[in-house]
Amino acid sequence: MALQIQKQVWKTCKPIFSILQKKPCTAEAVAENRNFFTFLSRKSSTLKEDRSNKVHLEDKVAVVTGGASGIGYAVANELLKEDVSGTSSVTVIDNNKEKLQESVRHLGEEHGEDRILPIEADVSNIEQMDAAFRNTVLHYHTIDIIINNAGILDDGKWEQELKTNTHGCVIGTLLGMQYMARSSSGSGGIIVNVGSLAGLTPWCGFPIYTMTQFGVVGFTKALGSGRLYERTGVKVFGYCPCLTKTAMLENLAEKSINDNFAAEFVEDTGNMKVQRPEIVAKGLVGTLHEAKPGSIWVAMEDKEPFEVSMSEMLKKAGQSVDQATR
């Protein structure tokens, strides 16, 4: 069975591996700091830039995973709303059939049924996701933007958590490269890997979820090579919201490994303001143009998103190590 899975992964993702092998792709190191919340509370200088120069969404086709609820639904709605021409389209992928049907009905009433393509699929299933991408191209003739948003927070079901959060992100990104890269007969595009603040500073109450989020950030940084972007025309960047009012935050005590870990989560996040998914989505769409390949953006407390300076993170981490060893 394992051999069959490996063969399927290679068959589906061979085009992107061939792209990566043309030149070595270096990944930046990601440092973690226990006092990182203080650093994150400062806005990046990039916020002083003119944000009016947005990505033109006319005639663009986006794919949003986990799009039936929460941040994913809000992003799909924002993408359709921002295109005043009414020519953009969104494929909404979700594994919850009932929620998918309901969300697509609402989006259709607001923006037009012909602009939304609902597809029921499991993001951790390569065959289902490949079929979803293929159906999108057959329906809309292209793919321009991919929002890898699907994710779960449930350390009690850590095997599914790993599959959804890490496998789903990798599969969506590699397929995005395969379908959009200029070297694969595509026309370029944008991939946004949606993680969380737990990918930059650990949530001790949910260590397994934290591991998946650090993986999303590291994977995204590794694909941020300027050389890769020049060859493929596909920009990959990360977007890490803090606590957001979605179903993910419901019944957290039942989703932790045990009561001790649940108490740790309260200690880590007790002072954080829970933000609205609509604000998170608006910020994400607003970063589509200005975000650089491999950049990581943070959205917290309903404020404007800001870019995390990885070089400053490394510098701060180095200073902490020096102080600890004196």
Give pLDDT tens digits for 30-53: 333 333 333 443 333 332 333 444
What are phi and psi for residue 313, nearest 5 degrees? -60, -45
Strand partners, 190: 145, 235
Burial of 66 (0-12, 13-18, 19+ CB in 10 A): buried
Give the pLDDT band of residue 185 (cuts 50, 70, 90): confident
Q: Report the range of poorest mean pLDDT among 129-133, 201-205, 212-216, 230-234.
A: 201-205
CA quadruple 263, 277, 152, 47: dihedral, nearest 10: -90
- DSSP H/E element including 4: helix 2-20
Structure confidence at residue 315 (pLDDT): 55
Largest pairwise CA distance in the chain: 64
Q: Report the range of poorest mean pLDDT among 52-61, 136-145, 255-264, 306-315.
A: 306-315
Of all residues in the chain, what percent carry a pLDDT higher than 90? 62
Task: End-to-end CA distance of the chain: give it in Å, rounded.
Answer: 52
Q: Is pLDDT of 57 > 80?
A: yes
pTM of the model: 0.80
**Which class is domain 53-318?**
alpha beta
Copy the structure tokens of residue 140. 């809309």
Catalytic-residue membership of 179: no
Among 140, 179, 209, 239, the active-site one is 209
CA quadruple 289, 291, 297, 300: dihedral, nearest 10: -30
Give the number of other CB atoms < 10 A from CB of residue 145.
24
CA atoms of 146 and 232, how far apart (whole Å): 15
Q: Is pLDDT of 19 > 70?
A: no
Please answer whether residues 34 and 204 qualify as being in contact, where contact means their C-beta atoms are separated by less than 8 angstroms. no
Structure confidence at residue 311 (pLDDT): 63
What are the structural domain ranges in the chain?
Answer: 53-318
Copy the structure tokens of residue 281. 């989505």
Copy the structure tokens of residue 27. 């990944």
Q: Is pLDDT of 96 > 90?
A: yes
